[in-house]
Amino acid sequence: MSSTRKIIHIDMDAFFAAVEQRDFPQYRNKPLIVGGAPDSRGVVATCSYEARKYGIHSAMPSSHAYRLCPQAIFVKPRFDAYQEASTAIRKIFADYTDLFEPLSLDEAYLDVSHVSLLQGSATLIAKAIKAAIKQETQLIASAGVSYNKFLAKIASDINKPDGLYLITPEQGADFAERLPVEKFHGIGKATSAKMHSLGIKTGKDLKELSLEMLQHYFGKAGLHYYSISRGIDNRPVNNYRIRKSVGVEVTFQHDIKLKQDVIGQLHSLLKKAQGKVTEKQLIAHTLTVKIKYHDFVQITRSRTLPHRITADLAMGVILEDLLNDTDIGRRNVRLLGVTLSSLENRSGRTHFRQMDLFNDC
């Protein structure tokens, strides 16, 4: 890999649950679920590997998880503890390279192409990082090593937990050909279903379509699919990422229906999002409202202004207008969310780090 880039993807194993099991010995070796209570409308944020044996996974309704494993232990998230562990892990990354890109609290890309430590071996560096994380935080990480982001991320998932997998430049194209399309990062259920309907089941099938055909079926994403089906991904590892949005949302224990209650909740969410924006010395020009009705039908409504959005301005003018074209007042609501985007710093330049989407649980 000396003539190509050397990319490592680090992914912490069952991160939230692992922190809980580390801090509370009574949870160890037991099915543990971090998220909403089983008698609430919450969802699973993550779960231990002991819980995964029962078919439980993240984003599953907590009530369903309880039915699959009634003996599971349910705990509320402790985000301060997870942030503290994540900060310690990022300090370890910085011991090996300045060029790392956090994707979330529990995963990151590292570019070690020009690192001379450990003979410049990305595999040895990945091993050393995994060992340092375990020694300093008592947590387990999996690592994928390859010559681009796409393959490194795929590789980190292959031997979980505590995995380490290398995909060399010589292996990349063949590996991508054999990969089922649903395993391609960025191809979700809807896109994979569409691909299957077109007879596209593997990277090899994807590779056999021309760029023009892929763009016809998938628009702008067609070029990305054309490249990754050939093991090509030239995206750089960015240690400086532009934040795109700040959002908050809440799922109600009991549905709400009255319009004034909805507006009150949205205003409360907006104040929280606005506080985060102000704290980072940013201003926002776009407000998006997310509404999920009792039957799980979800809609969004947005408004972009030439001047900055404030909580008072939105309360008095925008929110009422956004709700006019909805079924608020006629259908029960189970979830509301507010997102502020089109972010700029106070000097007028778009400027910020990683997107931060935080929930009010």
- pLDDT score, position 150: 95
pLDDT in tens, 30-89: 999 999 889 877 889 999 999 999 999 988 999 999 999 999 999 999 988 998 999 999
- pLDDT score, position 8: 98
For CA atoms 46, 50, 51, 52, the dihedral sign is positive
CATH of 245-357, one of 3.30.1490.100, 1.10.3720.10, 1.20.1630.10, 3.40.50.2000: 3.30.1490.100
> Which of 165, 183, 160 lies closest to 18 in space, CA to CA?
160
> Which of 95, 76, 100 lies closest to 19 in space, CA to CA?
76
| 1-167: CATH number | 3.30.70.270
- pLDDT score, position 316: 58
Q: How far is CA 81 from CA 52, 77, 193, in A?
A: 22, 9, 38
Q: How far is CA 184 from CA 73, 101, 201, 350, in A?
A: 32, 20, 11, 31
- pLDDT score, position 331: 94
Structure tokens at 170: 């010589």
Give every CB contact of residue 264 below 8 A, 6+ residues apart in sequence.
none
- pLDDT score, position 350: 42
Distance between first and last Cα of the chain: 45
Residue with tokens 């997998």: 165
All residue ranges of the chain with pLDDT < 50 are 1-2, 347-361
How is the chain split into domains, by residue range?
1-167, 171-228, 245-357
- pLDDT score, position 282: 83
Q: How far apart are CA 350 and CA 342, in angstroms?
A: 8
User: What is the rounded (10 degree) CA torsion for 48, 51, 55, 56?
Assistant: -60
Rg of the chain over all Cα atoms, to the nearest angstrom: 22
Check 107, 170, 212, 249 and give the catalytic one.
107
- pLDDT score, position 314: 56
The question of whether 107 is a catalytic residue gets the answer: yes
- pLDDT score, position 325: 82
Topology of domain 171-228, CATH: DNA polymerase; domain 1 (1.10.150)
- pLDDT score, position 361: 31
Residue with tokens 């050939």: 230
What percentage of the chain's residues is helix, strand, coil (to nearest 5)?
Answer: 40, 25, 35
- pLDDT score, position 137: 97
Q: How far apart are CA 228 and CA 251, in angstroms?
A: 37
- pLDDT score, position 118: 95
